[in-house]
C-alpha cells in the first residue's frame, strides 16, 4: 500500500531580530547622557567622547544589520552597500576644514575657497573712503596683546554708542592661512601667514591694505585639528621686527624693507621637538634681547638672543615648550619672565634666565593664555580642558628661594586660548567660550553668560572689545553684576581665532582667510595724534 503524499512544508521567514539594535541604542543613549552630565570632564573632552560614542554606535548598528538582523540577504546587502556608497559620496564631496574651539568638526565642500592659500599678495577687495588723518599719529600696538602684553589698553577710550557710530570698514583683503594676529607701528601693519609651502611675514599699509613687503621661509606646519600656518604674532621694537614661525624659525627683519637681519632655527640649535600644535609663543623683547620659549634639551627651555646680532646670551630651564608667550613682570621684588611650559609654569630671572621657581600645571593639554598680574605679588593663571584658574602668591624666603603658594583654585573660568583680564578686583574672561566673571578675593563665580565661542578680546577702560569665534565684533561693559553687552558688528562669516589689534581708533582683525581694518569712534575728549575726538 502506497503511503499518501504529504503536503510540502513551508517555512515562515525569520522575523527581524530587533533587540540587539535596541540594546545598542539604549546603551549609546545612556553613555552619551552620562558623558554630557560629567562636569569633571572638560567640555572639549565631552564633545570628543560623544563623537566617539556616535561613531561606535553607527558601526555596531551596521554590523548588526549586515550579520545578525535576519533580514533577507538581498535587503541586508542592499542597505549596507547603499550606506557605504553614500558615505563614499559624502567623503568625496565634503571635507573637514578644521574644528571649532569646542572640537566640533567644520565641514565644507571640497571645491570651496580653492584659492585661499595664495591670498597673501592679493590687492584689497574692498576699499572705502580714505582715513581722515595720518595713521602714523596713532599710538602703536607693537606686540601680542598690546604694548604691555596684557590685553589691557590704557587709552584712548572708545565711544560706546555703536548704534549712532558703528565701526567703519576701511579696507578688506585676502590673507594666507594661520592664527597670527596683527601689530601696528606707524603706518605699517604686520602679521604672519602661510602661502602653500611658504611661511610669510607680511607688512601692509594701514591706509589701504596695500602689501609693502613680504619675507618668506620655505616651511609649513599643518594639523587636522589645529589647522595650517603660523600661530605667533610679530613683535616690533625700534626698526626691527621679530617673528617666530610655527616650526621654530626665529627671524629678525628690517621694519622698513623686510630684509632678513638674522635668523635662528630653535629645533636645530636646541635639540627641541616641534610642539604638537606648532610653536605659538610670540617673541619677548627685553633689555636688548629677544626671548623665546624653545623647549630645548640640556637647559635650553627658554633662550635669549641679542636683538641686534642674534648672538645667544643665555639659555635655561628643562621643560618642553608650551604655547603661551613669555611674559615679564616683577614678583616678590624680582623681575621675572613667566613661561607656560608643558605641565608646568616656570619663572626665570630676567637678567640671566636662571630658574627661580616652578609650579606644576595642567594635565598635558595646551596652555596658551598670558598670566594676569593682580598686585600684591599675586598672579592668575588660567587654562582650558578642565584645568581652570589658580591665583598664586609668590614669596621669597630667607634663603633667597622663591615659593609659589596657591591662594585659590576655580573651575569657573577655563581660558582655552582667550586671555582673561583683571579690573577693580574681578577677573573677566571666556570660560570654555562663555563670558564669565570671578571675584579675585576667593575665585568665586559672579556670573557666566553669553556664548561667544573661543574668540579674542581687549579691555579698553571699562569696555571689553571681543571678536567672537564666529566672526562677530562685540562691545561689552562688564561689571560684577553681568557682562553688559552693548552692541554687535558682523565682520567675518568664518571661524576666527586670531588676536585683535587696536591702535587708537584703528582696529585690525583677521582670521585664516581675510583681514579687515575698521575705524572705531573714540569717546568725546579722547586725544589721539594731537587731535581731540
**CA dist 176 → 244, 300, 384, 472 (Å):** 16, 32, 27, 20
Enter the DSSP assignment of 183: E
List, as one string, the DSSP characters of 371-429.
PEEEETTEEEEEETTTTEEEEEEEEE-TTS-EEEEEEEEESS---SSS--EEETTEEEE
* CA distances from residue 421 to 47, 144, 155, 425 in whole angstroms, order as listed: 27, 14, 16, 11
- Per the listing, cell 570671578 goes with 438
Query: Which helix H or strand E contains 59, and what residues bound it?
Result: helix 43-63
Nearest CA to 379 out of 340, 351, 417, 418 is that of: 340
CB distance 413 to 450 below 8 Å: no
Going by C-alpha positions, the residue among 364, 363, 368, 374 that lies closest to residue 326 is 368
| Number of residues that make up the chain | 533
C-alpha cell read off for 345: 609654569
Strand order of the sheet with strand 355-360?
Answer: 327-331, 334-341, 344-349, 355-360
Provide the residue ranges of all domains of the chain, joining segments of one domain with +: 19-109
Q: How many CB atoms lie within 10 A of CB 521?
A: 18
Query: Which pLDDT score, from 0 to 100, does residue 435 have?
Result: 97
The one-digit pLDDT tens for each residue of the chain (533 residues) are 555 555 555 555 568 899 988 999 999 999 999 989 887 777 878 888 998 999 999 999 999 999 888 889 889 889 889 888 988 888 888 877 777 877 777 777 887 754 443 333 333 444 444 444 444 468 999 999 999 999 999 878 999 999 999 999 999 999 999 999 999 999 999 999 999 999 999 999 999 999 999 999 999 999 888 889 999 999 999 999 999 999 999 999 999 999 999 999 999 999 999 999 999 999 999 999 999 999 999 999 999 999 999 999 999 999 999 999 999 999 999 999 999 998 899 999 999 999 999 999 887 778 889 999 998 899 999 999 889 999 999 999 777 789 999 999 999 999 988 999 999 999 999 999 999 999 999 999 999 999 999 999 999 999 999 999 999 999 999 999 999 999 999 999 999 999 999 999 999 999 999 999 999 999 986 655 555 55
Task: Please tell me the pTM assigned to this model.
Answer: 0.87
Residue in 374, 469, 377 with CA at minimum distance from that of residue 416 = 469
Cell matching residue 192:
604672519
Whole-number pLDDT of residue 205: 97
Mark out the alpha helices in 64-150 (DSSP H runs). 73-93
- d(CA 37, CA 373) in angstroms, rounded, equals 34
Strands 463-467 and 456-460: what pairing? antiparallel
DSSP per position, 442-509: T--EEEEEEE--S-EEEEETTEEEEE-TTSEEEEE--BTTB--EEEEEE--SS------EEETTEEEE
Please choose, from the candidates 337, 335, 336, 293, the residue with its C-alpha nearest in 3D space to the C-alpha of residue 318: 293
Grid coordinates representing 2 are: 502506497
Q: Say if residues 334 and 349 touch (Cβ distance below 8 Å).
A: yes
Cell of 36: 554630557
pLDDT at 449: 94
Q: What is the pLDDT of residue 528?
A: 58
| Radius of gyration, alpha carbons of the chain | 27
Distance CA 380, CA 350 (A): 19
The pLDDT of residue 219: 96
| Concatenated DSSP letters of 221-274 | -EETTTEES-----EEETTEEEEE-TTSEEEEEETTT--EEEEEEHHHHH----
DSSP state of 117: G
Check if the beta carbon of residue 404 is closer than 8 Å to that of residue 359: yes
- Closest listed residue to residue 502, CA positions, set 514, 518, 490: 518
Q: What is the pLDDT of residue 2?
A: 55
Question: What gap in Å lies between CA 146 and CA 153, rounded to an integer?
Answer: 7
| Rounded Cα distance, 221 and 20, in Å | 45
pLDDT of 134: 46
Is residue 198 a contact partner of residue 177, using CB atoms and an 8 Å limit? no
Q: Are 277 and 223 in contact (CB under 8 A)?
A: yes
Calculate the alpha carbon distances from 405 to 357, 358, 396 in Å: 11, 11, 11
Cα dihedral 280→282→288→293 (10° resolution): -30
pLDDT of residue 4: 56
Contact (Cβ atoms closer than 8 angstroms) between residue 512 and residue 177: yes
For residue 386 the three cell numbers come to 578642565
Q: Is 424 exposed, middle or buried (0-12, 13-18, 19+ CB in 10 A)?
A: exposed
Asked whether 165 and 533 are in contact (CB, 8 A), the reply is no
Cα(170)–Cα(506) distance, integer angstroms? 9
Amino acid at each position: 500500500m502506497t503511503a499518501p503524499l504529504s503536503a510540502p512544508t513551508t517555512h515562515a521567514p525569520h522575523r527581524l531580530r530587533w533587540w540587539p539594535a535596541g540594546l545598542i541604542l539604549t546603551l549609546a543613549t545612556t553613555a552619551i547622557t552620562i558623558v554630557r552630565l560629567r562636569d569633571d570632564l572638560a567640555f572639549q573632552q565631552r564633545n570628543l567622547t560623544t563623537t566617539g560614542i556616535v561613531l561606535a554606535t553607527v558601526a555596531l548598528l551596521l554590523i548588526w544589520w549586515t550579520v545578525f538582523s535576519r533580514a533577507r540577504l538581498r535587503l541586508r546587502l542592499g542597505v549596507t552597500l547603499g550606506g557605504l556608497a553614500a558615505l563614499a559620496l559624502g567623503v568625496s564631496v565634503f571635507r573637514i576644514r578644521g574644528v571649532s574651539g569646542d572640537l566640533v568638526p567644520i565641514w565644507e565642500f571640497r571645491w570651496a575657497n580653492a584659492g585661499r592659500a595664495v591670498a597673501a599678495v592679493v590687492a584689497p577687495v574692498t576699499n572705502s573712503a580714505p582715513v581722515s588723518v595720518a595713521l602714523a599719529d596713532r599710538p602703536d600696538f607693537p606686540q601680542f596683546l598690546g604694548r604691555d602684553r596684557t590685553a589691557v589698553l590704557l587709552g584712548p577710550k572708545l565711544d560706546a554708542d555703536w548704534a549712532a557710530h558703528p565701526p567703519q570698514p576701511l579696507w578688506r583683503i585676502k590673507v594666507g592661512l594661520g592664527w597670527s594676529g596683527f601689530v601696528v607701528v606707524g603706518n605699517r601693519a604686520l602679521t604672519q601667514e602661510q602661502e602653500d609651502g611658504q611661511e610669510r611675514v607680511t607688512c601692509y599699509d594701514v591706509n589701504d591694505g596695500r602689501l609693502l613687503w613680504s619675507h618668506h621661509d620655505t616651511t609649513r606646519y599643518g594639523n587636522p585639528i589645529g589647522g595650517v600656518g603660523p600661530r605667533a604674532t610679530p613683535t616690533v621694537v625700534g626698526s626691527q621686527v621679530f617673528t617666530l614661525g610655527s616650526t621654530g624659525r626665529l627671524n629678525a627683519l628690517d621694519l622698513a624693507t623686510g630684509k632678513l637681519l638674522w635668523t635662528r632655527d630653535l629645533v636645530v640649535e636646541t635639540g627641541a621637538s616641534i610642539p604638537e600644535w606648532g610653536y605659538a609663543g610670540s617673541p619677548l623683547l627685553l633689555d636688548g634681547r629677544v626671548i623665546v620659549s624653545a623647549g630645548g634639551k640640556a637647559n635650553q627651555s627658554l633662550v635669549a638672543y641679542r636683538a641686534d646680532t642674534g648672538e645667544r646670551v643665555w639659555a635655561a630651564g628643562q621643560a618642553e615648550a608650551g604655547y603661551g608667550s613669555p611674559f615679564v613682570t616683577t614678583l616678590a621684588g624680582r623681575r621675572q619672565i613667566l613661561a607656560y611650559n608643558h605641565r608646568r609654569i616656570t619663572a626665570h630671572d630676567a637678567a640671566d634666565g636662571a630658574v627661580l621657581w616652578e609650579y606644576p600645571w595642567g594635565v598635558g593639554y595646551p596652555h596658551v593664555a598670558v598670566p594676569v598680574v593682580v598686585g600684591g605679588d599675586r598672579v592668575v593663571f588660567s587654562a582650558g580642558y578642565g584645568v581652570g584658574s589658580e591665583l598664586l602668591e609668590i614669596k621669597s624666603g630667607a634663603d633667597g628661594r622663591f615659593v609659589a603658594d596657591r591662594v585659590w583654585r576655580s573651575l569657573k573660568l577655563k581660558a582655552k586660548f582667550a586671555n582673561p583680564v583683571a579690573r577693580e578686583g574681578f577677573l573677566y574672561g571666556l570660560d570654555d567660550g562663555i563670558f564669565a566673571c570671578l571675584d579675585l578675593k576667593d575665585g568665586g563665580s559672579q556670573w557666566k553668560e553669553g556664548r561667544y565661542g573661543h574668540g579674542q578680546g581687549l579691555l579698553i577702560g571699562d569696555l571689553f572689545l571681543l571678536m567672537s569665534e564666529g566672526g562677530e565684533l562685540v562691545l561689552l561693559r562688564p561689571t560684577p553684576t553681568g557682562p553688559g553687552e552693548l552692541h554687535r558688528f558682523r565682520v567675518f562669516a568664518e571661524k576666527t581665532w586670531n588676536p585683535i589689534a587696536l591702535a587708537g581708533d584703528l582696529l585690525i582683525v583677521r582670521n585664516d582667510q581675510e583681514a579687515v581694518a575698521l575705524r572705531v569712534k573714540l569717546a568725546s575728549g579722547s586725544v589721539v595724534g594731537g587731535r581731540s575726538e
